[in-house]
């Protein structure tokens, strides 16, 4: 189980060592956290904690992964050890920083990490206690014991070869209008990787922003993947963040081990690679 309902937060938190993470992105991420977060949650910033940005997005995209040792240190600072249960949410219905944090923890070899379906919006609807106070940890923990990302990732050239190979499937999880190239609100060029199929991440959720059931997700992805092995599946988005939402949905559906293209469209579109528009 990787996804939980808001009603399960208290039960999980009450059974042993548990850390709750509020993960957010954007320039005002910390201000939004300060304005109201789940009582007892610790803040994690997508832009500085879950990414290691450079001035050149052509090398790794807009949200490259940080070095493993930097993330290992962050986990220690958050009080997370290999036996800690981690609950994570964000204010984007779990589709942004929470999914990225989930992927990174799994890629560090962590077992018990749960994403709150529906995120902060669902937490508010549940009537759970919110706070504007920052939680201060009194104990210094050692770095988390890992030194290399364990979950599969692929780079620019691997994606280029895979997109031309019918044995692979490259999934673009951005909204359909971005895939079709009608407009591009974030990156420099509109369109998509030729050969990629579009399965928007928002289709992993119902009208209330909660994840669809594992059974529905399994049927949904099984139809598209047509029996392809996970190592032949590559998932990307704009900058390697919402792609993690789809990897989480696939994991919940029993499809484990698909590749994350971290650089995603933000890298591809800056490297003089071919660009397609329309539905194919």
Q: pLDDT by residue (tens digit) across 102-158?
A: 999 999 999 999 999 999 999 999 999 999 998 888 787 999 999 999 999 999 999
The answer to whether the CB of 261 falls within 8 A of the CB of 236 is: yes
Quote the pLDDT of residue 9: 97
Quote the pLDDT of residue 8: 97
Instruction: Tell me if residue 237 is catalytic.
Output: yes
**What is the rounded CA–CA span in Å between residue 87 and residue 163?**
35
Task: Parse the chain into domains and list their residue ranges.
Answer: 3-131, 153-268
Q: Is the pTM of this model over 0.85?
A: yes
- Give the HSE-up count for residue 278: Cα atoms under 13 Å, Cβ half-sphere: 4
Pairing of strands 259-261, 153-154: parallel
Q: pLDDT by residue (tens digit) across 9-22?
A: 999 998 889 999 99
- Give the HSE-up count for residue 4: Cα atoms under 13 Å, Cβ half-sphere: 23
Q: pLDDT by residue (tens digit) across 68-108?
A: 999 999 999 999 999 999 999 999 999 999 999 999 999 99
In 18-83, beta strands by DSSP E: 18-24, 37-38, 42-45
Quote the pLDDT of residue 160: 97
**Structure tokens belonging to residue 128:** 């759970």
Q: pLDDT by residue (tens digit) across 251-279?
A: 999 999 999 999 999 999 999 999 999 99
CB atoms within 10 A of CB 157: 10
Check if 3-131 and 153-268 are the same fold. Answer: yes
The answer to whether the CB of 265 falls within 8 A of the CB of 174 is: yes
The answer to whether the CB of 131 falls within 8 A of the CB of 36 is: yes
**What is the rounded CA–CA span in Å between residue 44 and residue 75?**
10
pLDDT band at 193 (very low <50, low <70, confident <90, very high): very high
Q: At what angle do helices 242-252 and 214-225 cross, to 10 degrees?
A: 100
Quote the pLDDT of residue 40: 94
The CATH number assigned to the domain with range 153-268 reads: 3.40.250.10
| Average pLDDT score over the chain | 96
Q: What's the whole-number mean pLDDT along residues 14-35?
A: 95
Nearest in space to 62 (alpha carbons), one of 275, 245, 269: 269
Quote the pLDDT of residue 183: 96
The CATH number assigned to the domain with range 3-131 reads: 3.40.250.10
Q: Which of 196, 237, 244, 262 is catalytic?
A: 237
């Amino acid at each position: 189980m990787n996804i939980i309902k808001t009603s399960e937060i208290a039960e999980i938190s009450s059974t042993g060592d548990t850390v709750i993470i509020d993960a957010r992105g954007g320039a005002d991420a910390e201000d939004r956290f300060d304005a109201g977060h789940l009582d007892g949650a610790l803040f994690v910033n997508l832009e500085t904690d879950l990414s290691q940005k450079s001035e050149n997005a052509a090398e790794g995209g807009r949200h490259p992964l940080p070095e493993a040792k930097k993330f290992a240190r962050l986990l220690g600072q958050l009080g997370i050890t290999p036996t800690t249960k981690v609950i994570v949410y964000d204010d984007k219905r779990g589709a942004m920083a929470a999914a990225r944090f989930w992927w990174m923890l799994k890629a560090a070899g962590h077992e018990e990490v749960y994403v709150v379906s529906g995120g902060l919006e669902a937490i508010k609807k549940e009537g759970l206690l919110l706070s504007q106070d920052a939680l201060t940890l009194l104990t210094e923990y050692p770095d988390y014991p890992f030194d290399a990302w364990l979950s599969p990732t692929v780079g620019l050239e691997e994606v280029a070869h895979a997109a031309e190979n019918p044995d692979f499937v490259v999934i673009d999880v951005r909204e359909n209008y971005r895939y079709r190239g009608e407009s591009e609100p974030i990156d420099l060029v509109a369109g998509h990787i030729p050969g990629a199929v579009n399965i928007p991440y928002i289709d992993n959720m119902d009208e209330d922003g909660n994840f669809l059931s594992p059974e529905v997700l399994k049927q949904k992805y099984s139809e598209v993947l047509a029996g392809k092995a996970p190592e032949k599946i590559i998932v990307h988005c704009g900058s390697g963040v919402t792609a993690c939402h789809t990897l989480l949905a696939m994991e919940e559906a029993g499809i484990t081990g698909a590749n994350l293209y971290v650089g995603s469209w933000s890298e591809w579109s800056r490297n003089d690679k071919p660009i397609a528009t329309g539905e194919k």
